[in-house]
Amino acid sequence: MNSNFLYRTVILLVGTTSLLCTTQTTFAQKSPKLVLQLTIDALRQDLIHRYSHVLGEGGFKYLQDQGVNYSNAHYQHSNTETIVGHVSLATGTIPAVHGMIGNVWFDRGLGRMVYNIEDSSYQLLTSGADIDQSTEIDPTQRAAKVEGRSPYNILSSTLSDEIAIHFAGRSKIFAVSVKDRGAVSLAGNAGKAFWFSKAKGEFITTGYYFEKNPEWLDIWNSEKPASQYAGKAWELLHDKSHYVFGDADYREYEVDFPLFGRIFPHRFGLTHDKLFTTRLTLSPAGDRLTLDFAKTLLLNEQLGQDAIPDFLGISFSSTDYVGHLFGPSSLEMEDNIAHLDRTLAELFMFIDQKVGLDNTLIVLSADHGLPEAPGSLHALGISKAKYFDTQALDKKPAIQALKATFGLGEELIEYYFPPYLYLNRDLIKEKGLDQATVEKVIAKELVKFDGIATAISSEALRTDTLPDTRLNRQILNNFHPKRSGDIYLVFEPNVFINDFDGLTVATTHGSPWTYDTHVPVIFAGNELQPAKVSRPVTPYDISVTIAEYLGIKHPSGAIGVVLEEVVRNE
């Protein structure tokens, strides 16, 4: 990585914020007993305000009324996927530094796609808890082939690592999520992670963190908490007349998942149904299970009970799944936000009872945003929104002509998994062609396709010869020379892929456009005074701000800026 790239990255992240402080920073005087980091998967920043009419007291309203709210926080990397955002939050840096450039990437040495936190050296501690590919709706998980999990692939230290180092291992550090990557990223190397296994209907962990399951975990799982939802359904929290989308329950473009359907109530089925646990995660029930488990963990591990700060990371995943199936402008999303609000209110009440909100530093953000479904935009007259058929890329006449020019008879595009295109390097080498030249020519041709905004070769990213634009900086911030593909593909705004090896979704995130980069950043608790801040900030600022708040060193690759309203709060 050249110095020019690093300079441009730093200028991008701190030059626009006017936060290069000339005064000495004053640390918050009261150290929290607990740092509670909440990540709401796919919570686009405006959704809290858009659906404020369904909110109660003590949840989002507590954060809005009592917290330091940053309304203009955007990620500065291009591939807005789950692992990328979670690790960016944990490390305070961009994927070009922390290495998690996508949920999956093609490993040339292994000759296959690898899942972001896969690690065959550390197997799951629960037998039969590996992924059932036939029931998995997450395209990332469907690509996973290795059972073991660990944070080994994360190339920078995390906030949780730095907490462990500073307090000499005396801090208790845990993270919980439905998704394995949501938990492992927040727990880092020095913490401990738990996540929900759809195959078992239980929360599980890996041999990286434990030699055997904690006794309380086995007890909790033995009570079969998921079974409480058997024969039940996701019901509306309010009367339909209370919702903006109350008269739009059925939309043709929404995913008709078996038994779950497109209209309320969305049935879960019975426990023997192999899709039962999957349906739970497609609804607010997934967040409820996560909350119940987190409360059990906090009690059994006695978090926040002494003067040494502990850390609990919770990643709530249901908003992401609901968004993929129904889109953000749907009755399902509107009601999901209402249920999530109640889940947060219950969590905050529980924390207040067991630790005290005045002893707890709460931070809430999201790993990425969420685009509107094309069908929803079409109804408003926005006709350019559409789905893109990636299967036909290699068969387009322009690519066929290029293959003839280069004398290539086989497929030139070996693999495509968003956002990276992988070329058939063996074929290119066999024909005696220059890899960089082929990349450049193909990228130039791809940009001509309807629906593609830009295509950038890895050679251009390595040499950093691109014009200095916001989009190019985002793609540079996502580039890692050992993990990124040969060509980075960006679709036009509101153009999406909705077919992942036969799995169809209503909409999907992962773009560099603002609907995917704009997320909430809120600090609350620990006697912070409320404030509303509209200047540009980034989610990378979160981990360095918490580190500064605790008086510990920043994560090793961090480039975020300390948020003055939090550390100088008076």
pLDDT surpassing 70 at residue 500: no
pLDDT surpassing 90 at residue 17: no
pLDDT surpassing 90 at residue 20: no
pLDDT surpassing 50 at residue 21: no
Among the residue ranges 5-9, 295-299, 534-538, the one predicted with the least confidence is 5-9
| 8 Å CB contact between 509 and 516 | yes
> What's the rounded mean pLDDT across residues 142-166?
92
Q: What is the pLDDT of residue 148?
A: 95
State pLDDT tens for residues 245-264: 999 999 999 999 999 999 99
Q: What is the pLDDT of residue 569?
A: 78
State pLDDT tens for residues 202-214: 999 999 999 999 9
- 153 vs 414 pLDDT, higher one: 153
| Domain at 389-450+452-491: CATH code | 3.30.1360.150
Q: What is the pLDDT of residue 501?
A: 62
State pLDDT tens for residues 323-356: 999 999 999 999 999 999 999 999 999 999 999 9
Q: How many whole angstroms separate alpha carbon 485 and alpha carbon 458?
A: 7
What would the DSSP string read from start to end of 175-187? EEESSHHHHHHHH
Handedness of CA 98, 101, 102, 108 (dihedral sign): negative
Confidence of residue 144 (pLDDT cuts 50, 70, 90): low
What would the DSSP string read from start to end of 219-255? HHHHT-GGGGGTT-EE--SS-GGGSTTTT----TTS-
Q: Which residue blocks in 311-451 are alpha helix, DSSP H?
A: 318-326, 331-354, 374-378, 397-406, 425-430, 435-446
pLDDT surpassing 70 at residue 176: yes
- Residue 128 structure tokens: 């039969």
State pLDDT tens for residues 84-120: 999 999 999 999 999 999 999 999 899 999 999 999 9
What's domain 3-377+512-567's superfamily in CATH?
Alkaline Phosphatase, subunit A (3.40.720.10)
- Residue 214 structure tokens: 């904690």
Q: What is the pLDDT of residue 498?
A: 80
Q: How many whole angstroms separate alpha carbon 395 and alpha carbon 470?
A: 31
- Among candidate residues 92, 89, 320, the one with its CA nearest the CA of residue 184: 89
> What's the rounded mean pLDDT across residues 222-242?
97
The amino acid at 330: S
State pLDDT tens for residues 178-207: 999 999 999 999 999 999 999 999 999 999
Confidence of residue 465 (pLDDT cuts 50, 70, 90): confident
Q: What's the chain's average pLDDT?
A: 91
Q: What is the pLDDT of residue 391?
A: 72
Domain boundaries, the chain: 3-377+512-567, 389-450+452-491
Partnered with residue 415 across adjacent β-strands are 422
Q: What is the pLDDT of residue 44?
A: 98
Q: What is the pLDDT of residue 206?
A: 98
Q: What is the model's pTM?
A: 0.93
- E strands present in 436-510: 452-457, 487-491, 495-496, 499-500, 503-504
Q: What are the distances in angstroms from CA 178 to CA 119, 286, 370?
A: 19, 7, 19
Q: How many whole angstroms separate alpha carbon 308 and alpha carbon 169?
A: 10
Task: State what percent of residues in the chain have pLDDT above 70.
Answer: 90
Angle between helices 215-222 and 284-300 (to 10 degrees): 140
pLDDT surpassing 90 at residue 397: no
In sequence order, which residues have a C-beta less than 8 Å from that of residue 394 and are 6 or more positions away? 411, 412, 413
> What's the rounded mean pLDDT across residues 491-515?
89
